[in-house]
Amino acid sequence: MGKLYFYALIAGMSLFAVAPPASGRSIADCDKLQTAKAEVLSDTVDPIPDVDKNDKADACSPQNKAVSQQPVKVVPINIVATGSANILKKAIKGDILPQGEGSLHENLAFKYRIYRPEAPNGDTMVLLHGSGQDETSLVSFGSKIAPNALLLAVRGRVVQDGSNRWYRRLTPVSFDQKDIRSEAKAFAEFLKQVTREYKIDSNRTTFLGYSNGANLVNAVMMLYPDLVKQAVLLRSMPVLTGISEANLANARVLTVSGASDQLYAPYAPALEDLLRSHGARVEARSIKSDHGLGKDDVKVVSEWLSGATAELKKN
């Protein structure tokens, strides 16, 4: 028994000996770091950019690669500051149900999570993540811009090159048109079902999409114009080809592009013109940013929501 324990101890020590140093991480490791649930940084709201694991598209940027090569510093979580202490008290008291806030639901066509605020105001925000992310990626952002809204966080069900997506793409800026329409139809049906199940007021619902998720939102608007009355499209571009007769006269839209986003920013004016040509009331903003999200996005979206949502409630 003593010999077995000694051999196991030696084997365990050998695992530590062969572990690669932080400076030797590969691009694949960079992908893993980006797709992990990272802690929100001081100057960044969403430190995980919209990335696919396909290095021909939105692979790790040079800046992200440099960051991934630095040793990871473990930071203790302050449960008082994050609100986790209050959640813990509720769990102990039995106020949180088995299918409570944040648990994954798989009863409909799309996987989703529901996050309920402590002081709900009747508003709902539907969150659609970017490529390579999941339904939790925009929760921090959503809670900052709409702290009293119910958050419906949905996961795209297409997996391409190992990344979660909302539809298949051919190149970074061209897309499978049949798949877009198929997924938009499925998402429209999902919205009807989840709205009934959770008694969501569609007149007080804002759709917030980032990159690939924002592109699905604008496709849904063109194909099912009555479903989306208010939308925030972050780093988005038009993805549908062909003529649509959509009437978007009842829709309000905020588009936010990054001035140094070389991939999507050039297409932002085309998206704005498309939505306006179909009657939507569009406010277009360009901020000093790349494809990632930051504090400027929070400021711009929060200011727009404070006016647009108030107007939405009157109708």
- The mean pLDDT value for 14-37 works out to 33
Domain ranges of the chain: 103-314
Averaged confidence pLDDT in the chain: 76
pLDDT computed for residue 45 by the predictor: 43
What is the tens place of the pLDDT at every residue in 240-272? 998 778 999 999 999 999 999 999 999 999 999
Confirm if 163 and 53 have CB atoms less than 8 A apart: yes
Tell me whether strands 252-258 and 281-287 are parallel, antiparallel or unpaired. Answer: parallel
At residue 310 the predicted structure's pLDDT band, cuts being 50, 70 and 90, is low
Phi, psi values for residue 187, rounded to 5°: -70, -40
pLDDT, tens digit, for every residue of 276-301?
A: 999 999 999 999 999 999 999 999 99
Q: What is the dihedral of CA 280, 301, 256, 295, to 10 degrees?
A: 180
> How far is residue 135's CA from residue 183's CA, in Å, rounded to a whole number?
16
Which residue, chain included where needed, has tokens 């592009």? 257
Give the mean model confidence (pLDDT) for residues 47-52. 50
Enter the tokens of residue 244: 């649509």
Name the DSSP letter for residue 298.
H
Residues 6+ apart with CB under 8 A from 302: 144, 145
CA distance 125 to 163: 24
Amino acid at 204: R
Q: Is the pLDDT of residue 42 over 70?
A: no
Supply the pLDDT for residue 73.
33
Q: How many CA atoms does the CB half-sphere of 153 hold within 13 Å? A: 22
pLDDT at 244: 79
Q: Is the domain defined by 103-314 classed in CATH 2.40.30.130?
A: no
Query: By C-alpha distance, which of 182, 96, 194, 117 is closest to 154?
Result: 194
Contacts of 183 (CB under 8 A, 6+ apart): 156, 157, 158, 166, 167, 216
Q: Measured between alpha carbons, how far is 154 from 135 in angstroms, rounded to an integer?
A: 5
Per-residue pLDDT band for 63 (boundaries 50, 70, 90) equals very low
